[in-house]
Amino acid sequence: MAYSILIVDDDKAIKDYVEAHLKCFNYKVKSAENAYNALKILKSFKADIILTDITMQGMDGLELTRKIKKTFDTDVMVMTGYSADYSYEKAIQAGASDFIFKPFRLAELDLRIKRVLREAGFKKERYKLLKELEKLAITDALTELYNSRHFFSQIKTEINRYNRYSRPLSLLILDIDFFKAYNDTWGHLEGDKVLMRIGKVINSCMRSMDTAYRYGGEEFAILLPETGLQKACMVGARIKDNICSQIFEPEPGTKRSITVSIGATELVKGEDFRSFISRTDKALYRSKETGRNKLTYIVSNPDNT
11 and 120 in a common domain: yes
240 and 173 in a common domain: yes
15 and 97 in a common domain: yes
23-29 average pLDDT score: 89
> Can you give the CATH number for the domain in which 281 is found?
3.30.70.270
Q: How far is 188 from 290, CA to CA, in rounded Å?
A: 28
CB 77 within 8 A of CB 113: yes
- Asked whether the predicted pLDDT for residue 305 surpasses 70, the reply is no
289 and 174 in a common domain: yes
CB 263 within 8 A of CB 286: yes
What digits encode the pLDDT tens for the residues 50-103?
Answer: 999 988 888 999 999 999 999 998 999 998 875 556 677 888 888 999 988 888
Does 121 map to a domain? yes
Q: Identify the pLDDT of residue 82.
A: 59
Helix, strand and coil content of the chain, in percent to the nearest 5, comes to 50, 20, 30
DSSP assignment of 78-146 equals: EEE-S-TT--HHHHHHHT-SEEEESS--HHHHHHHHHHHHHHHHHHHHHHHHHHHHHHHHHB-TTT-SB
- State the residue range of the domain holding 218: 148-297
Does 303 map to a domain? no
Helix, strand, or coil here: 31?
strand
Active site residues: 218
Task: Out of 72-76, 78-82, 196-200, 215-219, pick the least confident.
Answer: 78-82
* Residue among 6, 17, 66, 15 at smallest CA distance from 40: 6
> Can you give the CATH number for the domain in which 104 is found?
3.40.50.2300
Which bin fits 139, alpha (ψ -120 to 50), beta or left (φ > 0)? beta
293 and 224 in a common domain: yes
pLDDT band at 303 (very low <50, low <70, confident <90, very high): very low
How many other CB atoms are there within 10 angstroms of residue 205's CB atom? Answer: 19
Q: How many domains does the chain have?
A: 2
Does 194 map to a domain? yes
83 and 32 in a common domain: yes
Does 143 map to a domain? no
Does 302 map to a domain? no
Residue 175 is inside which H or E element, if any?
strand 169-176
As a whole number, the mean pLDDT across the chain is 91
Pairing of strands 254-257, 295-297: unpaired
Integer angstrom CA distances of residue 62 from 46, 65, 121, 219:
20, 5, 24, 56
- Asked whether the predicted pLDDT for residue 304 surpasses 60, the reply is no
* Of residues 128 and 285, more confidently modeled: 285
Q: Identify the pLDDT of residue 301.
A: 52
* Residue among 188, 169, 170, 171 at smallest CA distance from 180: 188
